[in-house]
Each structure stands twice: as structure tokens, then as C-alpha cells.
Structure 1
Amino acid sequence: MRQRLSSEPDRYRGRRRVPTPPRSRYAAVVTTAFVGAGIVALGASALPDAKDVSPSVLDELKQASVTSQDAAARAENADRASRDDDRSKDSAEPEVWLLPLQGYDFNSPYGMRWGKLHTGVDLVAGEGTPYVAIHDGLVTKAGWFGGYGNAVIVQHADGSEAIYGHSSSVSVKEGQQIKAGDQLGLVGQTGHAYGTHLHLEIHVKGQPVDPVPFLQDRGVDIKLQVEAIFNEVAAS
């Protein structure tokens, strides 16, 4: 080996030499790099590539999702309809029967009078006193009706009819649907009447019946001017 002379320039002066790592450390670094690359490759191979998924499978998944949403919507709508139906049943009003007048004198009951059948009851009240429907129904007659004078006939859902006679005027028209308590006319003495009063008749299957027991069965005592059913409904 030739010895460097002191007069020769030092080629390495001003440079920093990076020390070579020990063989054991170099081996560890290389090994770690390979292992890490293997893990990444393994993980990538475990994940499915979207473009490798069959289009039919994607369509089936989409259809299953839509079907599930439709079923949930139908179930919700059915449940809502059931709740609405329950509320409708709970809110349905019971049948209401009322007195046709307030503050009258009960006169001339149903029965024989002067050798003839008096087919209703007379409720004496002042001229022009409003009277109302005793029950829901359809107005089948509103106007002049022979000996009844100005009259209103209302047919109820159960087939019975109520005739209100001797009115000074009527407030409804034929074909009109009315509710219990709706005004039908004013008390008068038209037709074959003696004094101002409301003549009330009830017909069942086309035949007159005594209004007193008929209305009592429905919670109305026309003789005592009591509306039991109406009072219960109003208090509830």
C-alpha cells in the first residue's frame, strides 16, 4: 500500500461520510419493507373489487332494498288507517232524540177524541215559537198538507216518520237532510186546529203510534218534558 504524502490533496476533505449500517440492522430494514408490502397486498386481495361484482347481484340488492321500503310504507299506512278508523268509531255520535219544543203545555194525548182517533199529541205554545226535529232524518214533506195545515214530515233512518202539523211557517225544504235539534218551522194554527199548538205524530210502518211510549223508549219523556239521552250526551 502506498502511503499518502502530506503534499497530496485530501480528496475527502470537506465531505461527510455516511457510515454503513451494521449487517444486522440492514437486514431488519429490508425484512420489514418486504413484510409490509406483503400485508398490503394481502389486504387488497381480501377486499372485493367493485367492478368484479356481478351486475345481477347489485340489481338484486337494490330490488331487495326497494321491496323492504315498500313493505315498511304499506305497514305504516295500514297502521295509520287502523288508528284513524278507531278514532272515527270512538268519535261517532250516539243516536240523539230530542223534545220538539221547550216550555209547552202537553194537551190532547193520543187516543179517541170526539169519536175519532187523535193520531198524535198536541203541544200548546205561543204563535211563532220555533220547533225542532226530534231526530235525524230526511224531509219528505214541507208545506201545506190538508187538515195538518203547514206541515213537515221527516223520515228517520229506522223507517219511522214524524209529522209536525199546524205550523205558521216551515223552515226546511223537501229532500233536505236534517239533524236532531234543527229548526223545522214555527208553531201556528193552520189547517184543522183550535188554538196555536204543535201537533206531533209518529208513524211506524205507515201506521200512527202513541208518541209518548215511542219516545220514552228513546229516552225522551214528552209529557214531563225530559230528554234523558240528550242530557247524558251533553254531560259527557
Structure 2
Amino acid sequence: MRQRLSSEPDRYRGRRRVPAPPRSRYAAVVTTAFVGAGLVALGAAALPDAKGVSPSVLDELKQASITSEDAALRADSADRASRDRVETKGSSVQDAWLLPLKNYEFTTPYGMHSDKLHTGVDLVAAEGTPYVAVHAGTVTKAGWSGGYGYTVIVKHADGSEAIYGHSSALTVQEGQQVKAGDQLGLVGNTGHSYGAHLHLELHVNGKPKDPVPYLQDRGVDIKMQIEALYNDVSAS
């Protein structure tokens, strides 16, 4: 073995030798490294890497997407159908027949009274109670009419007419278009009247008809104060 000459430079002169860590510390360092690597591996496995996903899982995800789209389409179709139903119902408002009043007393019916034909029905209510059109049409009369007092006449699309008599005030004008349920005037005691009430007549082909069966055929029972909304009926 060659001996180092004292004249040769000592590469380690002036340097401190770092002692090796004890075996227990070395083991802890190695163990920590392995644990850290394991956590990284687990985190990587949790990421949705398409290359590592099972084909069956991809099929399930694809099917779920298709199902979601189908549900959205069905919901949109249902919404459109609902809007169509509302529009259809709205269009049938022109066919509606309604009661002219609420909370009245049905008194004098259509027919012969004291050797005279009572050509309508009388509905007793407090003076000033609003009354409405039983059916859509055009106001052909809005003013004073002899024994009927202040009167409104509405001509319907089928040619029939409704006459509302003895009003205390009128809220429409001649030529005005009205729908079933639109206010026409206020109950009164004008003309040849025995007290505050609404006199209602219905004329077909220029002749008076009994309002009770006529309205019953159209879903309105004026005696029982019952009405069926939006009945699609044809005039008789």
C-alpha cells in the first residue's frame, strides 16, 4: 500500500466529517418516503383518467347522459303541452256560458202570470249589485227601454240575444264587444219593476225562450246557481 506523503495536499483537511445517521433514523426516513409514494399513487388512482377507466363504467356514464337528455326532452314536451292546453282553454272562453249574478234569489219564472206572458226570469239581489254577460257577444242596446227601464241587450255570434232589464246603471256602450263574465251594469228598480232585481230574457230567432232549460243545455242551472265553465256547445 502506498503511503501518503506529507507534502501531498490533504483534500479533507479543514473539513468536518458528517456522521452517518443512526439506523433508527434511517429507517424512519425510508418509511416516510414509502408512505408518501403510496399516497401519491392513491391520489393518482382517484383521478378520472379515461385511459384507466373500465369500459363498463364508460358505458354507464354514457347511458346516464342519454337518460338525462331524454328526461330534459320529456320535460320540455310536457311544458309545451301544458302551454297548448292553456291556450286551448283560453280560446274556448268565447263558448262559455255563465250565471249573470252571484247570491241572488230566483223568484218569477218564465211563463204566464196574471194572463200575461212573463218572457224571462227575475233574479232578486240588492240594488247596485254588479251583473255580467252570460255569453260573449256585441252590445246592441245600452239605455232606457220603456218598461224594462235601463236595459242592456247583447247579441251572440249564433244570433241569439240576452236582455238584461231594470238596471240602476249601465257600464257598457252600444257596439262594445263583451265576453262571458264581463260586467254590464248594476241591479236596479227602474221601469215597470216591483223591487230591485235583474230581469233576464233570452231570445232565439227573435222569439223569447225559457232561460231555465236553455241555460241548462249549456251547463248553467240558473235556479240552483250552478255553472260549468268553458262548455263547448252549439245553439239550439
Paired positions, count: 147
| SS of the residue 2:173 aligns to | coil
The two structures, once aligned, show a CA RMSD in angstroms of 2.0
CA apart distance, 1:184: 0.2
Listed one character per residue, the Cα deviations across residues 147-199 of structure 1 (whole Å, up to 9, x for unaligned) are: 10000000001110000000001000000000110000000010000010000
What secondary structure does 1:108 align onto? Answer: coil
Partner of 2:135: 135
Partner of 1:161: 161
Q: Aligned with 1:167: secondary structure? A: strand
Match of 2:226 in 1: 226
Unaligned runs of 5+ in 2: 1-79
Q: Within 1, Cα distance between the matches of 2:201 and 2:211?
A: 7
In structure 1, stretches of 5+ residues that fail to align are: 1-82
Asked if the contact 2:124/2:196 (under 8 Å) is kept, the reply is yes
Tell me by how many angstroms 1:119 deviates. Answer: 0.1
Cα 1:214/1:90, change in 2 over 3 Å: closer
Correspondences of 1:12-161 after superposition (within 5 Å): 92-93=91-92, 95-161=95-161
Cα gap change, 1:100/1:89 in structure 2, threshold over 3 Å: closer, same or farther? closer
Q: Secondary structure at the match of 1:98?
A: coil
Q: Offset at 1:90? A: 7.4
Q: Distance in 2 between matches of 1:98 and 1:152?
A: 16
- Separation of aligned partners in 1, 2:204 and 2:224: 23
Deviation (angstroms), 1:231: 9.4
User: Which secondary structure does the structure 2 equivalent of 1:224 belong to?
Assistant: coil
Instruction: Report if the CA contact (8 A) 1:125-1:198 is conserved.
Output: yes
Under a length normalisation based on structure 2, what TM-score does the superposition of the two structures give?
Answer: 0.59
Rounded to whole Å, the distance in 1 between the matches of 2:184 and 2:204 is 21
SS of aligned partner of 2:229: helix
Distance in 2 separating the partners of 1:223 and 1:158:
24
TM-score with structure 1 length normalisation?
Answer: 0.59
Distance 2:230 2:92 in 1: 11
User: How far off its partner does 1:91 sit?
Assistant: 5.5
Shift of 1:228: 2.0
Q: Distance in 1 between matches of 2:229 and 2:89?
A: 18
Preserved contact between residue 92 and residue 230 of structure 2 (Cα < 8 Å): no
C-alpha spacing 1:90/1:180, structure 2 compared with 1 (3 Å) = closer
Q: Check the 8 A contact 2:142/2:174 in 1, yes or no.
A: yes
Change (3 A) 1:182 1:115: same
* 1:229 CA displacement: 3.1
Aligned 8 A contact 1:218 1:229 in 2? no
Q: Take 2:155 and 2:211, find their aligned partners in 1: how far apart are those partners?
A: 15
Amino acid at match of 2:147: G
Residue 101 of structure 1, CA deviation = 0.2
Rg larger in structure = 1
Deviation string, structure 1 residues 100-133 (Cα, Å, up to 9, x no partner): 0000000100000111000000000001000000
Are positions 1:205 and 2:205 aligned together? yes
Q: What secondary structure is seen at the aligned counterpart in 2 of 1:212? A: helix
Q: Give how far 1:93 is off.
A: 2.0
